[in-house]
Structure 1
Amino acid sequence: MPTSYDVLIIGSGQAGNPLAVAMAEAGRKVVLVEENHLGGSCINYGCSPTKALLASAERAHQVRTAATYGIGAPEPTVDFQAVMARKNAIIKKSREGVRSNLTQEHEGITVLHGHATFTGPRTVQVALAGGETREIKVPLVFINTGTRAALPELEGLTDVPYLTTTELLDLPELPEHLLILGGGYIGIEFSQMFRRFGSRVTLVESGPHLLEHEDADVCAAMQEMLEVEGIELVLGAEARRVSRNAEGLITLSAHTKAGERRLRGTHLLVATGRVPNSDKLGLATIGVKTDEKGYIQVNSQLQTAARGVYALGDIHGGPQFTHISYDDYRVVRDAILHGKRRSARQRPLPYTVFTDPQLGRIGLNEEQARKQGIVYRVGKMPVRTIGRARETGNTTGFWKVLVDAQGRILGAAILGAEGGEIMTMFQLAMMGKLKYPQLQSMVIAHPTWAEGLNNVFTKLKKPE
């Protein structure tokens, strides 16, 4: 093993891995330290495993609803262990791909498994998995350690076998009745997934509606969509305590406007947010500052208060998405290797909630536009009016788009089939600074989902 390096990367996430490769290809000696599995949250307990399970759940739903298309089919039997085995095979292949990319396909990268702690300026002590320790001093350090599940201050929680998303993804049996605490996109995706697998699902959210950052009409449509599938929603509910009886049933007590609710289930998923993995890095030793929640503070170039130390991905707060972490990599790669500076604070924020149908979002929603004092018009079109929707039977949801006084697109919310893909069409138009009449008059192949671009702008009007 080389004993001196040019670059140290702490954490094998969606920013750290490509950065290691880019630095190595530029001729720099790189050491990457990972405490857990290579690949970060996306591969191991985030995007990849959840979307693999969602695909199985969607297939079960397709079989269950086949009669509406004139196809006779029995009620699907969900082999939960086989579902999990498929997911595990996908994750195993991804992990092997990451390891091969870092250790075999690129020279100049050393991978160490262990925990890294700062002991001085750009100096890190690594406690290796085998019990040894190693001190590494380098000119450049990149922290990419991500987050872990946040646990609420809930009476009795430590006395019951609760699940975070990490444990739920390795559950050996299908829950009979899954209680989900938290109505963000993680809780929503898991609620639909397990309902389609055959579990009873009760989702408990402290706020008045799901998806707190969305407009009211988007939230209402999402709630109706989930309730139609048989998911029980308990909104405006402040969880007070949780317990487990001798038979193994879990009881979650919550205060609501209608009084106290006692919700019983066989399993409890806690999906109330994330906290950063910054508390055991020794950041105070080198003067790296964090906010009140523990997220590392960085400037627009992702530099911390310590010279030569950067923070990438979820660890510095803000939107916690894989594509944002990957763009962090591009920001520092271009600045350090190519002399091209770009702010990490001036970039679009596309995201998709992978329910069925999906919610794709880009740019401003109505509430944000109003707060910024922007004059806008809004067009809203039911998905059922698109020919492709009627032909495929995927008629749930609506398209919603905002334009400014000059006809430029400010943002879009697409709740419907292929919502994430359609949202990206609006993102491309926004990046190209196209005005809506250009999309409205564009010749689009029939019958495609994209034809909605011709029609949604006919609905433009001033906000009510």
Structure 2
Amino acid sequence: MKSFDAIFIGAGQAGPFLAARMAETGMKVALIERKFLGGTCVNAGCMPTKTLVASARAAHVARRGADYGVQIPGEIAIDMKIVRDRAETIIMNARNGLSSWFGSMKTMTVIYGHARFTGPKEVVVNGETLTAPKIFLNVGARPTIPDMPGLADIDYLTSTGIIHLDSLPKHLAIIGGSYIGLEFAQMYRRFGTEVTVIERGPKLASREDEDISDAIADILRSEGIKIHTDVKDIRFAKSADGATIAVDSETIEASHVLVATGRAPNTDDLGLDAAGVATDKRGFITVDDRLATNVEGIWALGDCNGHGAFTHTSYNDFEIAAANLLDGGDRKVSSRILAYALYIDPPLGRVGLTEKQARASGRKIMVSTRPMSKVGRANERGETKGFMKVVADAETKEILGAAILGIEGDEVIHGLIDAMNAGTTYPVLQWSVPIHPTVSELIPTLLGELKAV
């Protein structure tokens, strides 16, 4: 048996950074990873997919060159091997960087293997037992595969596998109309693939307000993406060219199928029962406001605790745990204001409550919207799709939430994220003097047009 001050299971975007903080203080830590350092973000999520998005946007901008007076002779061609290699280079650079960093720490031991609990203070990995008074779980999540007739009989892709494609699909059918599926839909359409999105729910991006969802659908349809929503029956059959998909009364012939119907936590094979660690009905590890599980000395960070499925929320879990355990702080998950983005083009930046959620809270609310066609920067750049939206409390003047669907929306939203975290009311922010010409300069105007609804 080997003893450590702390054991970390999973090397995503929370645990390793806390492990490093502890190692820097001289604590003896073990970091156990069954596959690759960096978790989903580095290996199958943010970094490779946004690299692919960048390649797809380059193709899209090149095709629009004539609109800006730029003549590009010949057809725009896509070399998927180069596209893939760019993404894999980004992956390996990040992964190798982490390996070098962790390897330089004298009191950190990195172990590759599958760890399982044998008790609340003990885990077994590669046939060896490790023990520590503190154990941190950062095991992430994986794509879920729905039980659909015939799906098991065909070859299909998930978000993990599709990033390694080195040839262009003829027709990509995407099962699931949420964030991951929509990003791949636009990406591959811009590469030149025929794309169909199939969603069981009544709208795309179901978390969003209806006007946002409708605008997202309009953006994708304008690029030639076919969208089926409110689908009642989906059936698959293997075909010579890929798969035949029966969607209600319509038949779709697809060369490739991407299943993007959600993610499930990697908690089912950790031996949590042996440690007494509780999970909810979906398998997420139950934690309190400081990320501690029901078992003393065990914490759960990142996607596996169900309190955020984003790299930035995982990293914030590290910040909360580090502040509380190492810096004498008292930070809480409930203090976090959730923000995220959808990386279609133009992107959606989101923070706080939707209008629907604000109404359901029983508050008296105010709402303001502004089309991107009335934003100078959008017109100058020739990218006027989407709109801006903000929701505020009519009585307290608190900014409750916002959505920026439009050019640079993922960056512009940070002005509102910062204001909300600082507790700045909208009348104060309304009198800021932003830089012209930018998209952000319209935030005061947007706030000034808030009306009770």
Q: TM-score range by the shorter chain?
A: over 0.9
1:451 is matched with 441
Distance 1:352 1:159 in 2: 34
SS in 2 for 1:402: strand
Partners of 1:441 and 1:354 lie apart in 2 by: 30
Q: Tell me what 1:171 maps to.
A: 165
* Corresponding residue of 1:368: 357
Q: SS where residue 115 of structure 1 aligns? A: coil
Q: 1:437 to 1:79 in 2, by over 3 A?
A: same
Cα contact 2:308–2:314 (8 A) shared by 1: no
The verdict on how the C-alpha distance between 1:301 and 1:442 changes in structure 2, with shifts beyond 3 A counting, is closer
Q: Is contact 2:155–2:242 with CA below 8 Å preserved after alignment?
A: no
Q: Residues 350-387 of structure 1, C-alpha deviation per residue, up to 9 Å, x if partnerless?
A: 10101100000001111001110011111100111111
Instruction: Work out whether residues 147 and 275 of structure 1, in 8 Å CA contact, stay in contact via their aligned partners in 2.
Output: yes
The one-letter code of the counterpart of 2:172 is: L
Q: Match of 1:244, as an amino acid? A: K
The 8 Å contact of residues 12 and 39 in structure 1, kept in 2 or not, is answered as: yes
Contact in 1 for aligned 2:434/2:441 (Cα 8 Å): yes
Change (3 A) 1:455 1:75: farther
Hey, what does 2:431 align to over in structure 1? 441
1 CA distance for matches of 2:444 and 2:360? 29
For residues 209-255 of structure 1, the C-alpha deviation after alignment (integer angstroms, 9 at most, x for no partner) is: 0011110100000000000000000011134321112x233111223
1:395 to 2:419 alignment: no
**Separation of aligned partners in 1, 2:398 and 2:274:** 49
Query: Does the alignment pair 1:248 with 2:237?
Result: no
Give the conservation status (yes or no) of the 8 Å contact 1:63–1:75.
Answer: no
CA RMSD of aligned residues (A): 1.3
Output the CA distance in 2 between the equivalents of 1:103 and 1:158: 41
Structure 1 distance, partners of 2:310, 2:435, is: 32
Could you tell me which residue of structure 2 aligns to residue 91 of structure 1? 91
Cα drift, residue 289 of structure 1? 0.9
> In the alignment, what sits opposite 2:137?
143
Aligned with 1:288 (options 252, 277, 287): 277
Q: Is the 8 A contact 1:205 1:238 kept in 2?
A: no
Q: Which residue in 1 is equivalent to 2:66?
A: 67
1:160 partner letter: I
Aligned length, in residue pairs: 451
SS state at 1:51 partner? helix
TM-score calculated relative to the size of structure 1: 0.95
The DSSP-based 3-state class of the residue aligned with 2:441 is helix
Q: Structure 1: how far apart are the matches of 2:38 and 2:398?
A: 39
Residue pair 1:239, 1:252 contacting (<8 A) in 2 also: no
Q: CA–CA distance in 1 between the matches of 2:84 and 2:48?
A: 9
Give per-residue Cα distances to partners, 1:181-200, cap 9 Å, x unaligned. Answer: 00010000000000000000
Is the Cα–Cα contact under 8 Å of residues 163 and 269 in structure 1 kept in the other structure?
A: yes
Are the counterparts in 1 of residues 2 and 129 from structure 2 also a CA contact under 8 Å? no
Partners of 2:307 and 2:322 lie apart in 1 by 20
* Ranges in structure 1 where 5+ consecutive residues have no aligned partner: 128-132
Call closer, same or farther: CA 1:134–1:53 in 2, change over 3 Å: same
Which blocks of at least 5 consecutive residues in structure 2 are unaligned?
Answer: none
Distance 2:232 2:46 in 1: 29
Partner SS state of residue 363, structure 2:
coil
User: Which of residues 287, 297, 310 is equivalent to 1:308?
Assistant: 297
One-letter code of the match for 2:143?
A
Distance 2:384 2:230 in 1: 29
Correspondence list, 1:5-404, <5 A: 5-73=4-72, 74-104=74-104, 106-127=105-126, 133-245=127-239, 247-255=240-248, 260-404=249-393
**Aligned-partner Cα distance in 1 for 2:268–2:13:** 21
Which deviates the most, 212-221 or 437-446? 437-446
Distance 1:295 1:278 in 2: 7
Matching residue's letter, 1:238: K
User: What is the alpha-carbon distance in structure 2 between the residues aligned to residue 435 and residue 341 of structure 1?
Assistant: 25
Distance 1:378 1:310 in 2: 39
Match of 1:238, SS? coil
Q: Distance in 1 between matches of 2:30 and 2:233?
A: 44
- Once the two structures are TM-superposed, the CA of residue 443 in structure 1 deviates from its matched residue by 2.0
Deviation at 1:172, TM superposition (A): 2.5
Which piece of structure 1 moves more, 184-193 or 70-79? 70-79
Q: What is residue 429 of structure 1 aligned with on the other side?
A: 419
Residues 31 and 108 in structure 2, CA contact (< 8 A), matched pair in contact too? yes
**Preserved contact between residue 241 and residue 254 of structure 2 (Cα < 8 Å):** no
Alpha-carbon distance between aligned partners in 2 of 1:279 and 1:430, rounded to the nearest angstrom: 37
Query: How far apart, in 1, do the equivalents of 2:33 and 2:39 lie?
Result: 9
SS at match of 1:171: coil
Q: Distance in 1 between matches of 2:425 and 2:125?
A: 54
Cα distance in 2 for residues equivalent to 1:117 and 1:429? 43
Distance (Å, rounded) in 1 between the aligned partners of 2:178 and 2:108: 38
What is residue 130 of structure 1 aligned with on the other side? none
Deviations for 1:415-460, whole angstroms, at most 9, x for unmatched residues? 0011111111011112222232333332222212221123212322
Identity %: 43
Which deviations, in whole Å up to 9, do the C-alpha atoms of 1:107-164 show, x marking residues without a partner?
Answer: 211000000000112100002xxxxx21001110001111111000012212111111
Task: Quote the Cα distance in structure 2 between the aligned partners of 1:434 and 1:15.
Answer: 29
